[in-house]
Structure 1
């Protein structure tokens, strides 16, 4: 069985030629919005621009950097100095309606959009929404997935590298969803979408269904498609966390996926300690494995990632050490050690820099 995910292939930087046009569009939109706002007039509509830029240095501790290998999870696949992505989000918020255009450029953005769907992988999200009532919101377009603890943007994750649970699930969806605020604590989301990771046009005539039940920051997520044409099948996912003290937070993620009686399962804990307003340290401990009705003792991995986060104004510096160790690989080890021999474990040091702006 292949141990690495479909997201392991290195994405080529095809979309840098769009960067200049993105910035031009953003500047023009800002100018139009400024002109529309007369002095002293109450501002009912809002146009905003935000985003991030990230880069990193990575060196493998258990092998040579010149060997072409990675952990097998999404993003941060290079050794040496490497670019993450540039992210530009233009959003318009009216009294009841609005729109979001989320553009990405760089290897991380290309991998997140598979570099081949909407406009050569430059569009991460593009959707419109309507606040039908105080407790009901409709959204149509392309939006990032509701499954899982981690997200595409490194500015919103504590760990810079990503988990196996994140890498094996969907990144985005294209469809229609309805969000309902049932009370101060309860929420409900229902969605109909194209099948798993079909981010442009569904040519199969099939659709997927999604649901999310939320209670006080804890979320139970469901996804279903037929599993045909490379679909995901069925996945149930729990995402949440608890503030155990003013400075200590414990995040939790668990998921089970099946399609044609085979799939994956896993769980991850995210303990994080804030020692000051500018410095935090956190650990991601993840157990991930494959299952099948026809085979026993399929490969599984235990991955430990220790990350520190230091903030200077809008700049976040994240040093990180990661160790992944596989079991039940049956002489099909996924890595190579410094002697060029097959190995079932890989470790690396990563230093990431992330700048957020709004």
Structure 2
């Protein structure tokens, strides 16, 4: 099965390479990464890792993350591009949970898309691509914290469909339509609307993105979540204060409307996250992430509020990064477990991750 996936990707890329026999501007770039970690939750509760976010679900053990291989092909001076991005391991399986549950080989396909530039300012993309929603992304080398935030975990991971990007200097606009959220192969006719408006300062030190993903008007049984509608509005701001200090900010609101007759409540949950990034030297980086989740009507999280604080140190040696991390969480309700199995309103975790990119 893996051979078939690689074979399909290689054939697609070779087709792009031979798209125009006289094109001397075609190129092919290969990149990738591997990561793994050790995690210890200080509660050490039997059968409960006290992990409520994506991926780092192990307790007191070494664990594999994900191996990725990505191929980017361009032709006609970049007018046409193709990307095949494959992932193998626990992280890849969790982020492709629909395909993993169906035991589909598509669970290994993180991204697979074609892009055609209509002009220098307008491009069309079709295929599977990572979501535009949120501050964090699924690839470990692209995040400064190794463990994931609540907002990343409970937002979309990817979209399979078509989108159009329009740019004019620092201002950008994106509009698209895709399968049901996170589904590569759709099991429903419900479609997801995608949108983004972006802008920033001329010097690039301030960038802001207003993102949307959602669906509405669904009928009973017409989508896996059994929701009438789901809409997520998301804001991401990045500010470079100095060459050694930067700030990231993410605010999100997800509105969930239940179908008529459902016993689950309709309503919204909200989240805020502040990232303080300090780089005292080219080899050492420090990131402090503080996240607050508010779910006043308890429509999703099982508690009215969650606070999570994560401190990560990135020690870089060439393409290798070592990430020791400390994380503390507290909730309004007892959603965590103590060592004796009783409930707890807080928990603390230590983690050591290793990431290599090429």
Shorter-chain-normalised TM-score: which range? 0.7 to 0.9
Q: Distance in 1 between matches of 2:178 and 2:17?
A: 36
Q: Structure 2 vs 1, CA of residues 55 and 66 (structure 1 numbering), >3 Å: closer, same or farther?
A: farther
Aligned residues: 330
Q: Structure 2 vs 1, CA of residues 81 and 66 (structure 1 numbering), >3 Å: closer, same or farther?
A: farther
- 1:354 aligned residue: 355
Q: Distance in 2 between matches of 1:196 and 1:308?
A: 33
- 2:251 aligned residue: 254
**Match status 1:102 vs 2:72:** no
Q: 1:339 deviation in Å? A: 2.8
* Structure 2 unpaired stretches of 5+: 201-206, 258-265
Q: Distance in 1 between matches of 2:14 and 2:113?
A: 22
Q: 1:210 deviation in Å? A: 1.3
1:199 to 181, 184, 196: 184
Deviations 1:246-296 (A, max 9, x none): 20000000001102132321100000100101101110000012243999x
Q: 1:198 deviation in Å? A: 2.3
- 1:226 aligned residue: 216
**Bigger shift: residues 170-179 or 228-237:** 228-237
Q: 1:340 deviation in Å? A: 2.6
RMSD: 2.8
1:106-125 equivalences in 2 (<5 Å)? 106-114=89-97, 115-116=100-101, 119-125=105-111
Deviations 1:49-98 (A, max 9, x none): 1111000011112x116533232101111121000011111121112112
Q: Distance in 1 between matches of 2:186 and 2:8?
A: 25
Q: Secondary structure at the match of 2:118?
A: strand
Q: 1:200 deviation in Å? A: 1.1
- 1:3 aligned residue: none
Tell me if the contact between 2:66 and 2:88 (Cα under 8 Å) persists in the aligned partners.
Answer: yes
Q: 1:240 deviation in Å? A: 1.5
- 1:208 aligned residue: 192
Deviations 1:220-252 (A, max 9, x none): 112220274225611110012111122000000
Q: Distance in 2 between matches of 1:47 and 1:181?
A: 25
- 2:48 aligned residue: 68
* Structure 1 unpaired stretches of 5+: 1-16
Deviations 1:149-175 (A, max 9, x none): 001111101100000000010100111
How does the TM-score come out when normalised to structure 2? 0.84
Q: Structure 2 vs 1, CA of residues 206 and 55 (structure 1 numbering), >3 Å: closer, same or farther?
A: same
**Match status 1:322 vs 2:327:** yes
**Match status 1:304 vs 2:321:** no
Q: 1:199 deviation in Å? A: 2.1
Q: Secondary structure at the match of 1:67?
A: coil
**Bigger shift: residues 127-136 or 217-226:** 217-226
Q: Distance in 2 between matches of 1:299 and 1:293?
A: 6
Q: Distance in 2 between matches of 1:69 and 1:279?
A: 29
Q: Distance in 2 between matches of 1:69 and 1:206?
A: 35
Q: Structure 2 vs 1, CA of residues 88 and 338 (structure 1 numbering), >3 Å: closer, same or farther?
A: same
Q: Structure 2 vs 1, CA of residues 110 and 294 (structure 1 numbering), >3 Å: closer, same or farther?
A: closer
Q: 1:26 deviation in Å? A: 7.7
1:229-308 equivalences in 2 (<5 Å)? 229=223, 230=225, 233-260=230-257, 261-292=266-297, 298-308=303-313
Tell me if the contact between 2:5 and 2:105 (Cα under 8 Å) persists in the aligned partners.
Answer: no
Q: Distance in 2 between matches of 1:215 and 1:223?
A: 19
Q: Distance in 2 between matches of 1:57 and 1:349?
A: 8
Tell me if the contact between 1:227 and 1:233 (Cα under 8 Å) persists in the aligned partners.
Answer: no
- 1:164 aligned residue: 150
Q: Distance in 2 between matches of 1:298 and 1:337?
A: 17
Q: Distance in 2 between matches of 1:274 and 1:294?
A: 39
How does the TM-score come out when normalised to structure 1? 0.84
Tell me if the contact between 2:83 and 2:111 (Cα under 8 Å) persists in the aligned partners.
Answer: yes
Tell me if the contact between 2:45 and 2:341 (Cα under 8 Å) persists in the aligned partners.
Answer: no
